[in-house]
Amino acid sequence: MSPQFELLQTAVEAYQQQRYYDAVELLEKYCNSSIKHNNKYYLQAQFWLIKAYQKTHQKQQAIALAKQLATHPNSEAQKWAKQALDLNNQSQSRIKHSKPKRAAQAGIKLAISGVASNLALASGVTITLLLGMVFVLFLALTFILSSDNPTSGLMVAIVGTLVFNTAAFFLSPLLMDLMQNSLYHTRWVSLAEVQHQSPEAARIIQRICA
């Protein structure tokens, strides 16, 4: 099995696994390095690349490649390219004639309202904790200054501060996760779900990981 054929198989598997950006990269690599442009494997790579372009919302690249295949000597390639162009024209026509839904806009407003209320609650909790810490600080200073042995009181305050900050350093990630789960209902998502909701965000994540 040649390296070129293995590259094509890997690209097709990436597409079938919904790793469309990986598929685009592999298919482009295969097409650019291919010498024979008339064999069936090259045409298959072109077909898969058009589909991968469509999945990654690269409409212009898909249209340009389909137009190029529409002039190919192979009749099957011409037929498939024309079908791809017709489907693209139909999808663009539906987008132009579709009207924005008020329900979707209302959903956005409700979501923003919920986030704002959560942010207000989180801010209130933070301010309350800060006020409590300042109150305890001044209370401790009052007891230390009025004590018969202020040096011992100061040492106790320093040790307590170090213990508290050390505990906060190690426990803060856990507390942050618990707060986010309770206020914002966060959850783990897969890369495929991110790609479905926002292909551009998924592409940025893949680039950063690479």
Determine what percent of the chain falls in helix, strand and coil, rounding each to the nearest 5.
85, 0, 15
If you ran DSSP here, which 8-state letter would residue 147 be given? S
Q: What is the pLDDT of residue 125?
A: 76
How sure is the predictor about 88, in pLDDT bands with cuts at 50, 70 and 90?
A: low
Render pLDDT for 151-169 as a digit per residue (tens, 0 to 9). Answer: 777 787 778 778 887 887 8
Position with higher pLDDT, 30 vs 110:
30
Same domain for 11 and 78, yes or no, is yes
Q: In this predicted structure, what is the pLDDT of residue 117?
A: 61
Whether 39 and 73 have beta carbons less than 8 Å apart is answered as no
Give pLDDT, residue 95. Answer: 43
Q: Are residues 106 and 80 in the same domain?
A: no
Please check whether residues 65 and 140 belong to one and the same domain.
no
Q: Can you tell me which residue has the tokens 């198989």?
A: 9
Per-residue pLDDT reduced to its tens digit, 96-119: 455 444 444 444 454 555 555 666
| Domains contained in the chain, number | 3
- Percent of all residues in the chain with a pLDDT value above 70, rounded to a whole number: 77
CA distance 53 to 71: 19
Q: Cα(85)–Cα(83) distance, rounded to whole angstroms?
A: 5
Q: 86 with 115, same domain?
A: no
My answer on whether 87 and 110 are in the same domain is no
Q: Are residues 47 and 67 in the same domain?
A: yes
Task: Give the range of the structural domain holding residue 164, as residue numbers without chain letter.
Answer: 149-210
Integer Cα distance of 109 and 146 in angstroms:
56
pTM of the prediction? 0.41
For residue 56, the one-letter residue type is: T
